[in-house]
């Protein structure tokens, strides 16, 4: 059953929900996401409380530290990767395996672009003396944004594994839910980033 070969016509309309296993995965990823919401909530609350707080005479403030153009480009990368992931799910529905692989691949590339910019940003901050242990502000900042970056890395490894492992398998009801769940996870990463660019970067520049 899980290895049945399909044609576009026999392919179910909701392939991710067609099997019992697929339904379990669907609910499972959401339960994970709900617990992740709470994790990020605690990190956001900590960051908001500790923003600009540190040893007396600390020369770093969020107003001077953050660069809006960089944050804007990173936002565009991640937001666009969300759309390409939707395209992958569109092709999943239409039983077009090449489309799924291609658009998941584009999503990975955009995610890598985002990650490269984030690594550059962190490297720059550490280089000018704003390291993890520099202040309560820096610890809270790196923990919050770094945890998000870790989620991005996990998402990228996940999608690369899917692309490579299923390359010769083709689409079936065994791997359709896997692609779908990875896509939901990727959108969630974007959801968290929306709050990061608003709360950390935009409100940080405002002071």
Partner 1 sequence: MSHDTEIQGRSQSQYEFDRRKSAVQMRKQVINFAIMIFLTFVAFATVVADFAPTFIKPVILLLAGIQVVLQLYSFMHMDDKHAPFIGVISTFVWVGAVIAFTFFLAFNTIIWW
For the CB of residue 54, give the shortest distance to partner 1 in the complex, in Å.
Answer: 13
Nearest residue (CB) to partner 1, 70 versus 126: 70
* Integer CA distances (angstroms), 73 to 45, 106, 142, 171, 177, in order: 25, 17, 19, 34, 31
For the CB of residue 188, give the shortest distance to partner 1 in the complex, in Å.
Answer: 7
For the CB of residue 180, give the shortest distance to partner 1 in the complex, in Å.
Answer: 9
The C-alpha atoms of residue 108 and residue 56 are separated, in whole angstroms, by 43
Nearest residue (CB) to partner 1, 122 versus 180: 180
The C-alpha atoms of residue 61 and residue 52 are separated, in whole angstroms, by 5
Residues found near partner 1 in the complex (CB under 8 A): 1-2, 4, 6, 8-10, 12-14, 17-21, 23, 26-27, 30-31, 33-35, 37-38, 40-42, 44-46, 48-50, 68, 72, 75-76, 79, 82-83, 85-87, 90, 93-94, 173, 184, 187-188, 190-191, 194-195, 197-199, 202-203, 205-207
Helices (H), the chain: 20-50, 62-65, 68-93, 97-127, 136-165, 176-195, 203-206
């Amino acid at each position: 059953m899980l290895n049945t070969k399909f044609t576009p016509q026999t392919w179910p309309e909701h392939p991710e929900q067609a099997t019992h296993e697929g339904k379990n995965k669907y609910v499972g990823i959401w339960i994970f996401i709900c617990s992740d919401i709470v994790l990020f909530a605690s990190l956001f609350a900590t960051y908001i409380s500790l923003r600009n707080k540190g040893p007396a005479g600390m020369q770093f403030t969020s107003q001077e530290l953050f660069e809006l153009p960089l944050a804007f480009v990173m936002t565009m990368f991640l937001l666009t990767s969300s759309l390409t992931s939707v395209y992958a799910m569109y092709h999943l529905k239409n039983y077009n395996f090449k489309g799924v692989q291609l658009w998941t691949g584009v999503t990975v590339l955009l995610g890598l672009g985002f990650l490269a910019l984030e690594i550059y940003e962190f490297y720059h901050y550490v280089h000018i003396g704003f390291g993890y242990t520099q202040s309560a502000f820096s610890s809270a900042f790196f923990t919050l944004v770094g945890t998000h970056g870790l989620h991005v890395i996990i998402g990228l490894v996940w999608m690369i594994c899917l692309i490579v492992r299923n390359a010769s398998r083709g689409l079936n009801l065994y791997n359709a839910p896997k692609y779908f769940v990875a896509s939901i996870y990727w959108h969630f990463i974007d959801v968290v980033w929306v709050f990061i660019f608003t709360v950390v970067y935009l409100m940080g520049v405002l002071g």
